[in-house]
A and B are shown apart, each in its own frame.
Chain A
Amino acid sequence: DTEVTQTPKHLVMGMTNKKSLKCEQHMGHRAMYWYKQKAKKPPELMFVYSYEKLSINESVPSRFSPECPNSSLLNLHLHALQPEDSALYLCASSQDRGQGGGYTFGSGTRLTVV
């Protein structure tokens, strides 16, 4: 299995809703990442998990809350989002954060906040 699977593929949520994005990989990768991508912009790093521990938070607002329940799963909990948070949310994984290898990306969750 050489894939990163993200669910849901599309999500529409209101500003008062609470929702979660899920990401799963079975490649034995020990580093997992959340990126946010707006239209016509590059992916922007949000969070990095290494060996199931949060190692980087790129000053992301607290309305985004990551969680890594185990080495294969990564969640992103969403609460009280704003319309400007609408974007493609990409999960990625890599063998090990320190090795500098390429990342495998999931197909993303396209989020619309109304």
Chain B
Amino acid sequence: RKEVEQDPGPFNVPEGATVAFNCTYSNSASQSFFWYRQDCRKEPKLLMSVYSSGNEDGRFTAQLNRASQYISLLIRDSKLSDSATYLCAVNIIGTALIFGKGTTLSVSS
């Protein structure tokens, strides 16, 4: 079983839509959680950290459920510029940041 599992999509949505991505992790030694955004042929860029209390940054909301070992990312009012691959990442004690396969989002007008 992979350490971090993500639905690869693709998710094709119209502008203005709300879209949610999910990610599960298997290692209970996971200590911190992140969502990264990666544009085609570019490096991953940190979108936001994910906290148990949930956190919001503008149109983006991240949630963590430690009991279910599950993290999510909600994007509201999708923009064309949100089209990218979204990678969930888990920092596991004793190792380093491990990435899910990524979910591809395509927002169309």
Contact = CB atoms under 8 A, between A and B. Distances in A.
Interface in B5-55: 31-32, 34, 41-46, 49
Given A100-B31, A100-B32, A105 B95 contact: no
Interface residues of B, number: 20
A103 B46 contact: yes
B108 interface: no
B107 interface: no
Contact of B100 (A42, A92, A105, A108): A42
B101 interface: yes
B49 A102 contact: yes
Interface string A31-52: 0010000000111110010000
B80 interface: no
14 contacts: A41-B101, A42-B87, A42-B100, A42-B101, A43-B87, A43-B99, A45-B96, A100-B31, A100-B91, A101-B91, A102-B49, A102-B97, A105-B43, A106-B43
Interface of B: 31-32, 34, 41-46, 49, 87, 91, 95-102
Interface of A: 33, 41-45, 48, 56, 88, 90, 92, 97, 100-108, 110
